[in-house]
Structure 1
Amino acid sequence: MHDNQATEHECGCPRTADLDGEGPAADSRRRFLRGAGLLGAGVGTAGLGLLGAVPAQAAGPEAAGAAGAAVKAPKKGKGKGRWQPDPDARQFTVVVMPDTQYLFDQDRIHPAPLEASVRYVLDGGVNREDGTDDNIVFLAHLGDVTENGLAVEYAAVTKVFGLLDDAGAAYGVLAGNHDVRSSTDDQRGTTPYLETFSKARAARTSGYRGSSPDGYNTCHVFRAAGRDWMVLSLDWRLSDAGFAWANGVIAANPKLPVILTTHDLAHADDGGRAELSDNGKRLWERLIDGNDQIFLTVNGHYWPPGRTVLRNRAGHDVHVHITNYQDRYYGGAAMIRAYRFDLDRGTVDVSTFSPWIQQIAAEERNVLAAQHVELTSDVDRFSLAIDFERRFAGFAPVPQRPARRAGELLVRDTVAYWRFDNGGADGAAVAPQQVVKDLSGQGNDLLWQSAPGTPDGALSWSAEHHPDQPGHGSLLFRGTRSPVRGGYLQTVPTAPVNRETFERGFTVEAFFKLPADWDSAQSRWSALLSRWGTSAEAGRSGPGTDADEPVATLSVSEAPALQWCVYPLNQTGASTCWGHQLPLDHWWHVAVVNDGKLSRMYVDGCEVARNPATPAVGLTTLGRPWMLGGYAYAGVLDKVFHGYIGDVRIVKRALRVGEFMTA
């Protein structure tokens, strides 16, 4: 709690004389405690068992509103035994717990909500019918564990945190201004807080890497998504020695992303717009701004909750969040906030809820409890879009996959293999006399072509490439549709692939990227790879046939989405495979695989939905060239591709996903 905000009896919790004496309210209170399992035989209302003492806020008439039922203690979680999160899963969760001080206030001791949250963490966040969990890797308490920093308060707190100790869990606790004398910094010496959460105790927690000499600041490292991450738990007020220690810890671990937790860093207005506090400005200037590894900070102390994004000295985002619910019903009910990281989606999904209230049957929750099961405002439940690879590139770049020799890609039955990493300097125009050799040795070389009126440089070499591409280079096509302009490539007239019909199956693969300036009006239905000759010339006239379209094309629709449209040998009409809408400015790998019967399209090794069930045997050919980046309609060049094309390979059999060029 902020020193300038409400004190314990100014926070909206009424005092009722009958609660601690005799009369109807006291009787009501005892009935509630017995019904909730908090008052056992021979235990008075001031008892301090592990499940907590008298929940004063739930007593009397205010305990049952229109919903009727009072808050009951949830069942204890079963726990998973030892702490065993999955260190390699691409999804994991960091849990933070803000100010619990009103649950541990002199003789007003209520550990039950805290215990429920701790057991939720130890259970891994199990909340799904299939039994899967949130892969919780760390619990960070944000300070103000207690209201007065008294030994009697910590005597109740330590029993609950002992559950984490027994399981070998990874957790960090820091001191807030109510845990210690607020006028002091981390050089204050021993306190009941430090006697409870000592260096020795911290050293026994999973992932512990060290404490400052004074013991008030700790560093943990957890492993998740196949890499190490750091959590710095910093005191309410850092001394010069504290800043030196924190900066030194980060410097000693220069490749680790850092989550910084502390008690006082930012505050927010009623709309949730956050800004740094005076102490936060000190932390920013002396620690956060100059350490690019810090990408997320979370603090308590203030309410309401809020968030903002600041730009550090390296020009990168730092997400700054405030989470504190002590002003809410039941002292916040040990509300926790879950940061669910998903590195595949590049997203952190954030939610805020009370496991204690969640575990109470809906029909037994009172009105206020029902309102605090989960908080859903845009500062309590939201998602952060983070490109982790890009954000961490400044201090922990992902090692680039090295280029592979062309010979490694020449699998059995390779018909053609084209790559563009040895043609010219990055940005240089492809010369009109350029020949791109077929590295399979089958003689399917490519020649430069262009639409009439095409300006110089419409086809150029590029160093850009897909991260899993064997050749570290590509071609940049700058085609337009109205009018038709652009350079492209096509196979030589004598190329064997021109006559190939692939009756026994095939695999066609290509890497490509549609740039941010890709325009559907100019570039829709252009082709990565296409074949000269129309369906009418091939004698095709089945349902859905377009007499003027080419006999084979791998095109990009207006969405943009991929379409494989071909005329098989066994059909009178076309056979099509469809992909899904693709974001721009991203490298993709596409593979179309036919096993001699059915065709399947894969994008980045994943089979798409719209693959036909009708047998499609072979590919019709008129013996004419294939085009790379060109598309003809009615026998006339109609469009030129706009974007990048990397390695292209054609194999005369079906390949498994593990045999694709991305393998």
Structure 2
Amino acid sequence: MNERYDGTSRRKLLQAGALGAGAVFTSGALSAGNAAATGSTSAAARATTPGGSRTAGRIDTEHPRFTLAVVPDTQYQFDEDRGDPAPLTATFDWLIDNRTDENIVFIAHLGDVVQNALASEFAQADPVFKILDRARFPYSVLAGNHDIDGSKDDTRGASPYLDTFNPKRFRWMPTYGGSTANGYNSYHVFRAAGRQWLLLAMDWRPSDASFAWARDVIAKHPKLPVILTTHEIVYADAGDPTAYFSDQGNRVWDQLIDNNDQIFITMNGHYWPPGRVTRKNAAGNDVHLHITNYQDRFYGGSGMVRLYHFDLARNTIDVETISPWIMGQDPAKRNELEEHEIELTDDINRFSIPIDFDERFSGFAPVAVRPARPASQLVIPGTAAYWRFDGPVTDQVIDQSGKGNHLTRKQLSSDALTASAEFHPDQPGHASWLFPGNKNPARGGYLQTADSAPLNALTFKGGYTIEAFVKLADDGQDHSWEGLFTRLGTGRDAGKTGSDPDEPTVKLGFSGGREVQWAVYPFDKNDTFTNWGHEMVAGRWFHLAIVNDGRHSIVYVDSSELLRNPATPSNGLATAGKPWLVGAGHYANTVDQGFAGNIGELRIVTRALKPSQFLNA
């Protein structure tokens, strides 16, 4: 099922530690005592009045970063006449108010909503959860042992919990997929980061039939990663953040997790303190298991919410724990205990989980390789040369542009160029050549245009785009100032006397810090102009482009414009009519080292291209 929200948003950093001492987050709730002291209306009161209704903002279901909000045991807030709904109310208000900024796609409660399983306690909790209903904010709830008769499994029958959180309550949600016949287990499917995710909300004690139901749900959604929420799986001891399996946790592992590779993370409450552990499933993949519970802390946990920030671009889940109820209070009126509970910043409650999502999900939802594209589709108007290194190493590389700028292989040493099956995922040709370059002494091989190649004479006064797919060697050797694409001939040869006239007229290479360097003698200047990039990561593919519109040159990496591009105008490229080198640089016309790494393909166009026209588009 797809979520029906759309729109665009960017996550803002709204963490308490990032704001000044006087900053107030949002119109969070105050406890009854503080509300009376300040004359404010409590969030609990707002929750039961029409004026307290909120509307959740839109989310961006395609953005690679999204947030799952996890709310653990709230039982002390609904404990006969001893509770206070204000903390949880403040949490829900904050999640609604910050839904767009944090891109919060879903809220999962981990059970033990109330303390004594009484109808009167659920009557207190019900209007707080109706805040989410009115805001049309999808969420899940499951039964903890304090919500029902904990001595029975989910075939227990009717209960005040089920009267409040039965399947009818969730049917309005576009994420809701269904429940077990007994009503105590449910699942949701939400869209985030351009894909669908399945969340299971399982009872405190699922029956064998309910485990079979969960396995069937997963089987009917065979390509969806699964987040499992239930009340008990793992626990942790004070002072030891490592989590351990309870007897029930081992049962859940054996019946549901181990043989269902789609389950990659689980979240449970019940025990305290928090902790986590990673365990290999039957497929040999990691499953991250987290215990989250704050009921033992000040004010029954102060409405703590754990925010799981999934970032598929960075292959990371960033986890933070905050109390919106305390954040929303007047800082001058917070008591000493509240000041310590605004957010939890120890490494048990604030941490990051590195996950290569594509690799982790490859067993059930492999990422389709982008199809190869024939060279003829990439020879666009203005193409001056186009070389692809997607076949065996030969003595000549044909210019696919049809302009005759073929390359001939040259050797600095006996170290041979080799064909490689590696390629950038957006590269049209599905292969590359590995260049074994080094210096002191110069080693490896490179490629060179013929003395009569038409490319040698071009000055590119109308602009140009030079782009390549590259992976720098990650071998620990010194490859400083290596050249990727260089024009033979020095500034002196081209009649230039500025800077160092023995430098090449044109060189695209990398500094000792692996910074991209585009250093040229423009056609209209007597001095060199240099564009600089940032340090590139060795061993990782990237697309590199240099674009000049006849006035300015801009360096792009993976279609992202870099910073250090000169504002001073420059036009064209000086030439002494000499050949071009691929995979090498030179000084005073002496090749000083070969390039070290992979080159997939390289294209030169005699005009400025937009990123949407690049080879990786």
The TM-score, its normalising length taken from structure 1, stands at 0.84
- Give the structure 1 partner of residue 492 of structure 2: 536
Moved more, 378-387 or 642-651: 378-387
- Give the structure 2 partner of residue 35 of structure 1: 37
- Give the structure 2 partner of residue 156 of structure 1: 124
- Give the structure 2 partner of residue 643 of structure 1: 597
- Give the structure 1 partner of residue 449 of structure 2: 491
Aligned residues of 1:530 and 1:554 also touching (Cα < 8 A): yes
Aligned residues of 2:409 and 2:448 also touching (Cα < 8 A): yes
Of residues 608, 611, 614 in structure 2, which corresponds to 1:654?
A: 608
Assess, with a 3 A threshold, how the Cα gap between structure 1 residues 31 and 321 changes in structure 2: closer, same or farther. closer
Q: Per the alignment, in what secondary structure is the counterpart of residue 196 of structure 2?
A: strand
1:190-589 residue pairs with structure 2 within 5 A? Answer: 190-269=158-237, 270-421=239-390, 423-424=391-392, 430-431=393-394, 434-452=395-413, 454-455=414-415, 458-517=416-475, 519-521=476-478, 523-542=479-498, 545-589=499-543
Aligned residues of 1:175 and 1:236 also touching (Cα < 8 A): yes
2:61 is aligned with 1:87 = yes
Taking only the aligned residue pairs, the percentage that are identical comes to 52
- Give the structure 1 partner of residue 8 of structure 2: none
- Give the structure 1 partner of residue 146 of structure 2: 178
- Give the structure 2 partner of residue 55 of structure 1: none
Aligned residues of 1:77 and 1:123 also touching (Cα < 8 A): no
Query: Partner letter of residue 122 of structure 1?
Result: I
Assess, with a 3 A threshold, how the Cα gap between structure 1 residues 504 and 31 changes in structure 2: closer, same or farther. closer
Of residues 578, 591, 604 in structure 1, which corresponds to 2:558?
A: 604
1:198-249: CA deviation from partner (whole Å, max 9, x where unpaired)? 1222333330011122211110011112211111111112221122111111
CA distance in 1, matches of 2:408, 2:262: 48
Q: Per the alignment, in what secondary structure is the counterpart of residue 543 of structure 2?
A: strand
Assess, with a 3 A threshold, how the Cα gap between structure 1 residues 408 and 106 changes in structure 2: closer, same or farther. same
Assess, with a 3 A threshold, how the Cα gap between structure 1 residues 327 and 117 changes in structure 2: closer, same or farther. same
Aligned residues of 1:289 and 1:313 also touching (Cα < 8 A): yes
Q: Per the alignment, in what secondary structure is the counterpart of residue 577 of structure 2?
A: coil
1:542-596: CA deviation from partner (whole Å, max 9, x where unpaired)? 2xx2343322111022221211111112222211111111222221111111111
Q: Per the alignment, in what secondary structure is the counterpart of residue 130 of structure 2?
A: helix
CA distance in 2, matches of 1:160, 1:209: 23
- Give the structure 2 partner of residue 43 of structure 1: none
Aligned residues of 1:83 and 1:169 also touching (Cα < 8 A): no
- Give the structure 1 partner of residue 104 of structure 2: 136
CA distance in 2, matches of 1:248, 1:566: 63
Deviation of 1:464 (Å) = 1.7
CA distance in 2, matches of 1:31, 1:340: 34
- Tell which structure's C-alpha radius of gyration is larger: 1
CA distance in 2, matches of 1:564, 1:408: 28
Deviation of 1:76 (Å) = 11
Query: Partner letter of residue 436 of structure 2?
Result: R
CA distance in 2, matches of 1:77, 1:477: 69
Aligned residues of 2:523 and 2:574 also touching (Cα < 8 A): yes
Q: Per the alignment, in what secondary structure is the counterpart of residue 447 of structure 2?
A: strand
- Give the structure 1 partner of residue 13 of structure 2: none
- Give the structure 1 partner of residue 6 of structure 2: none
CA distance in 2, matches of 1:376, 1:164: 27
Aligned residues of 1:38 and 1:51 also touching (Cα < 8 A): no
- Give the structure 1 partner of residue 15 of structure 2: none
Query: Partner letter of residue 133 of structure 1?
Result: D
CA distance in 2, matches of 1:473, 1:77: 62
CA distance in 2, matches of 1:479, 1:442: 28
Deviation of 1:333 (Å) = 1.4
CA distance in 1, matches of 2:366, 2:177: 23
1:367-409: CA deviation from partner (whole Å, max 9, x where unpaired)? 1111111111111112222222222222212222211222221
- Give the structure 2 partner of residue 64 of structure 1: none
Query: Partner letter of residue 307 of structure 1?
Result: R
Assess, with a 3 A threshold, how the Cα gap between structure 1 residues 415 and 39 changes in structure 2: closer, same or farther. closer
Aligned residues of 1:465 and 1:472 also touching (Cα < 8 A): yes
Assess, with a 3 A threshold, how the Cα gap between structure 1 residues 39 and 464 changes in structure 2: closer, same or farther. closer
CA distance in 2, matches of 1:439, 1:76: 69
Aligned residues of 2:509 and 2:518 also touching (Cα < 8 A): yes
The TM-score, its normalising length taken from structure 2, stands at 0.90
* Runs of 4+ residues over 4 Å off in structure 1: 29-33, 36-40, 75-80
Query: Partner letter of residue 466 of structure 1?
Result: H
- Give the structure 2 partner of residue 621 of structure 1: 575
Query: Partner letter of residue 592 of structure 2?
Result: D
Moved more, 276-285 or 140-149: 276-285
2:84 is aligned with 1:104 = no
CA distance in 1, matches of 2:525, 2:165: 75
CA distance in 1, matches of 2:107, 2:207: 25
Query: Partner letter of residue 411 of structure 2?
Result: S
Query: Partner letter of residue 120 of structure 1?
Result: W
- Give the structure 2 partner of residue 124 of structure 1: 98
Assess, with a 3 A threshold, how the Cα gap between structure 1 residues 613 and 241 changes in structure 2: closer, same or farther. same
CA distance in 2, matches of 1:210, 1:80: 26
Q: Per the alignment, in what secondary structure is the counterpart of residue 534 of structure 2?
A: coil
CA distance in 2, matches of 1:241, 1:152: 31
Deviation of 1:330 (Å) = 0.4
Query: Partner letter of residue 137 of structure 2?
Result: A
Assess, with a 3 A threshold, how the Cα gap between structure 1 residues 39 and 570 changes in structure 2: closer, same or farther. closer
Assess, with a 3 A threshold, how the Cα gap between structure 1 residues 467 and 31 changes in structure 2: closer, same or farther. closer
Deviation of 1:634 (Å) = 2.8
Aligned residues of 2:467 and 2:544 also touching (Cα < 8 A): yes
CA distance in 2, matches of 1:250, 1:391: 16
What stretches of structure 2 of length at least 5 have no aligned partner? 1-30
Aligned-pair RMSD on alpha carbons? 2.3
CA distance in 1, matches of 2:467, 2:260: 43
Assess, with a 3 A threshold, how the Cα gap between structure 1 residues 37 and 252 changes in structure 2: closer, same or farther. farther
What stretches of structure 1 of length at least 5 have no aligned partner? 1-28, 41-48, 53-72, 126-131, 425-429
Moved more, 190-199 or 29-38: 29-38
CA distance in 1, matches of 2:210, 2:566: 64
1:427-481: CA deviation from partner (whole Å, max 9, x where unpaired)? xxx24xx2211011000001111113x13xx212222211111222211111122
Q: Per the alignment, in what secondary structure is the counterpart of residue 513 of structure 1?
A: strand
CA distance in 1, matches of 2:74, 2:168: 23
Aligned residues of 2:54 and 2:134 also touching (Cα < 8 A): no
Deviation of 1:37 (Å) = 5.8
Deviation of 1:539 (Å) = 3.7
Aligned residues of 2:481 and 2:511 also touching (Cα < 8 A): yes
CA distance in 1, matches of 2:245, 2:510: 48
Deviation of 1:485 (Å) = 1.7
1:104-159: CA deviation from partner (whole Å, max 9, x where unpaired)? 1122231111111112222234xxxxxx6112111100011111111111011111
